[in-house]
Structures are given as C-alpha cells and as structure tokens.
Homo-oligomer: A and B are copies of this chain.
Amino acid sequence: MSFLVILRIVGLLLMLFSLTMVPPVVISLIFDDATWDAFVIGLGITFVTGALLYWPARNARRELRTRDGFLITVMFWSVLGLFGSLPLMLAADPSLSFTDAVFESFSGLTTTGATILTGIDLLPESIRFYRQQLQWLGGMGIVVLAVAILPTLGIGGMQLYRTEIPGPLKDSKLTPRITETAKALWYIYAALTLTCFLAYWLAGMSWFDAIGHSFSTVAVGGFSTHDASIGYFDSATIELICVFFMIVSSLSFGLHFAVWREKRLRHYLVDPEFRFFIIFLALLVTITIATLILSGTYDYDDSLGLRHGLFEVVSVATTTGFGVADFTAWPGVLPFMLFIAAFVGACSGSAGGGIKVIRILLILKQGLREIHRLIHPNAVFSVKVGKMRISSGVAEAVWGFFSAYMLLFVLMLLILLATGLDQVTAWSAVGSSLNNLGPGLGGVSAHYGDMPDLAKWTLVMAMMFGRLEIFTILVLFTPAFWRR
C-alpha cells in the first residue's frame, strides 16, 4: 500500500475542500448573519490539517493500483464528512454537538438528506447555504465515483456498462482516463445545476432558494433551506420543475455522458435501466394518485391529490427525499409502498441511492430464468439486459451485493432496536440511511434529532455503506486486504 501517496492525496483533498468554505463566508457577509467566523475557522483548521498531511508526503509519487482505490475512496468520504462538520459545530447557531454535526455533515455529503435540525428557516443564511452546498459537492463526488472510479474497482451497477460505453470506462489503471471522464461529468453536472437553478428562479424562488434547491435537487439530496421543504413554495410549477430534475438526476450519468458525446437522444430510449425505471415510476404514480383520490385523502380536491401524489412518489422513489406533503400519514399501504420503492432506488451512475434499478432488473430476470430452468431442466437460458448477455461474474456480484445489503440492514436494525427505538422508527431509519433517502417513518418522519447517539453513529455508517456500494468499505475489514 502506498501510504505516503495516499497521505499526499488526502492532504491535497483537504486543502481543496477547505476552499469550499469560502462561498458560505460570502453568503454570511451578504446576509450579515454573523456566522462568517465559523467558516473561516473551519477553513483554517481544514487547510492547515491538509497542509500538514501533504507536506511530508509532497514528493511521494507512484502509480496507484486498484487496491489503493478502495482506501482512497473510503478516506475521501470519511475525512470530508468529519471536516465538513466543523462549521456546524463552530457556529453559535445552531451550535450542534459533535455527533449531530457529524451526522448532518455525512447526511449532506452522502446526499442522504436526513437532518437532525428543526427551525431551518431561522438559521443563519450561511449555514442554510452550506448544507445545500455539501449535498451538491457530495453529489458531484458520487457521480464521478459511480461512473469513473467504482467500475475500475469492480464495484457497482455501472460495471455492467463497462463494455458498452466507449472509451474512458474501459481502462484498468486508475489515474489516466479518470480525469477526462470526470471533467465531462462535471460539465454535465454543472450544466444540469445551472438549468435547474434558472428554472427555479424563473418560477419564483429567490436566488438564494433557487441556488440551494438546485444544488440539492441535482445531487438527489433532499436538503432544503426550509423546514417545509418544497412545500414551502406551494407552487405547482416549482413542483413540476423539481419532479423533472429529480428524474433527470436519478438517471445514469454514464448514459447522459454517452448521449452528450454522441449527440443521440435515442440512447435513453433503448437503455433497459431507463425504461424499467420510467415504467416503475409511472406505475407507482398511478397507484398512489388513484388511492389518494379514491380515498379522499385531500377532501376530494383531485388536483391536490394529483400534485402531491406525483411529487412524493418521484421524491421518494428517486431517493431524493424532498417533501410537499406528509406521505407517511397517507392511507393504507402507500407509506410502506413508497418507502419500499426507495429500496429499488435510482439508476446506477447517478447520485441517487437505493439498491439501484439495474440490480433489481437483473435480480428479477434471474428469478424468471430460475423458473424457466425448472420447467425445462435441460435447456440453457442466458440472462440478457438489453442486447447484452450477463456473465455469471456480474450476476454473482449483483447477488453478493443484494445479500450483503440485507445482512447489513438486519445488523444495523438490531443495533438501533438495542438503543430502545420502536420497530417502525428503527427499520425505516436504517432503510432511509442505507438507501440515502432521507425521511423515514414513525419517529423519524420529520427529523432525526431525537435519536440516541449510538443510533446516529450507526446511521452515519449506514449512509456511508449505502453511498459506497457496501463492498468498497467491506473489503477494508478483511485481513486479506491489508496483507502485503
């Protein structure tokens, strides 16, 4: 393991990350919210720590290998999550405890969007902006990670596309082409954010809210500058804009990249993951709206049922987690159904969470194959996604992911129950964190402030595991990884 090189990278990273505390300082000065010092001090500590790590290792240079990639990826998110919590701890308002600040910071950077805060509207503008920015940065990081880095490590749904998308994804060495792909992804991500910002702004948001919400929309994050989330604006136009960008941001950026490179929109239509995702969403929206209207949930105001149904389904199923209505109080099976949809999650190669659509698609296809194998025991069936035949290696990776996901889910659920939480709160909190969704059911339908510390730390781990597709972290726990 090239520890010095890794030290150098982490040092560089921290110094770079410290610069992201400059915009909140600017915001603080604009709004005169008297919180600029928290960010300046945070910046200072982060930069100096980064420099101290970087300096002794500044000349360490070596070609990085696959195995280093796991360590760097996990370090990246843990270190940023920890230092990102500094301003939240330092600010006089909200003056968070260490645990709460770390929870909020990780929740932002992993684009989970679970919050321990209430009274967000009353917080200093710089803090409100900073949370949104954390999500935006995290979303960017995730997209690069999912499309350009994890596949080279052999992890994640996007590995399926390795043979399909020409160029950058094929290389097995870490550094050379990642930069090129990352740059292209950055352009797409930035362009999407800018468009989303303009749309929100033209639809009536203040520039402050428009920036903040475009950040957390494109990142599939779900943080808001208001307690009432998108519901604050009470605007059908803003909701529709939000729905559109939530969906676009939950699609594979590898796919966006291919469309952008070859200027062919048809790539979307032939993509099996895209098709499955859209049909799945349409189905959920239909069931939800029908139930809301037939049950008279909104006093038979059909337009409200329509609006709320569409928005909440897309928000939860894409794992964004914005709110315009309290879906956890909807009748019958709707809360549970929406919540389960978040387990399916977004497309691979997006900033969205969950198990990922392509994996669910593969699992379903393999299930069907099993049935056919039983009926025709001597025939050979291969599983195809689109035109691509799925190798047994990829299939086993998907299964491995699925069972590790379930196992982790049960283990963390046991820990949360041990802290004394009730079953609904506990399972939905773990599910929401592991799926990087945000809102939960029961005691965490509004916020996570009342949880015991052990529960909060467990959920931070859940967010990280979910975000890094589990195995990136899991390998670090094996002795074999550290040998030689």
Contacts and interface: CB of A to CB of B under 8 A. Distances in A.
A414 B337 contact: yes
A444 to B, nearest CB: 14
Contacts of A454: none
Contact of A154 (B366, B374, B423): B374
Contacts of A404: 367, 370
A265 interface: no
B403 A363 contact: yes
A248 B375 CA distance: 34
A426 to B, nearest CB: 9
A418 B366 contact: no
Nearest to A70: B374
A370 B395 contact: no
Interface stretch (A38-46, A124-132, A213-221, A470-478): A470-478
A205 interface: no
A402 B363 CA distance: 10
A283 interface: no
Contact of A400 (B154, B369, B401, B471): B369
A71 to B, nearest CB: 12
A407 interface: yes
Chain A, interface residues (CB within 8 Å), range:
35 or more
A406 B407 contact: no
Given A377-B154, A424-B423, A471-B371, A366 B400 contact: yes
Interface in A418-467: 418, 420, 423-424, 441
B423 A366 contact: no
A67 interface: yes
B471 A370 contact: yes
A413 B471 CA distance: 29
A224 to B, nearest CB: 27
Contacts of A370: 396-397, 400-401, 404, 471
A463 B154 CA distance: 39
A153 B374 contact: yes
A86 interface: no
Nearest to A153: B374
Nearest to A480: B375
A435 to B, nearest CB: 14
Interface string A192-209: 000000000000000000
Interface string A231-270: 0000000000000000000000000000000000000000
Contact of A155 (B369, B374, B395): B374
Contacts of A70: 374
Contacts of A280: none
A417 interface: yes
Interface string A145-159: 000000001110000
Nearest to A370: B400
B332 A480 contact: no
Contacts of A480: 371-372, 375-376
B367 A407 contact: yes
Contacts of A420: 332
A340 B418 CA distance: 14
Nearest to A416: B333
Contacts of A363: 399, 403
Interface string A133-144: 000000000000
Given A153-B374, A375-B481, A399-B402, 15 more contacts: A67-B375, A154-B374, A333-B414, A333-B418, A340-B410, A340-B414, A366-B400, A367-B404, A370-B471, A371-B475, A392-B392, A395-B399, A399-B399, A402-B402, A406-B406
16 contacts: A153-B374, A332-B418, A332-B420, A336-B423, A337-B414, A340-B410, A366-B403, A367-B403, A371-B474, A371-B475, A371-B478, A372-B480, A375-B481, A395-B399, A399-B402, A424-B424
Give me the 9 closest cross-chain CB pairs, A-B, nearest first: A370-B400, A399-B399, A333-B418, A333-B417, A363-B403, A423-B424, A392-B392, A332-B418, A374-B475
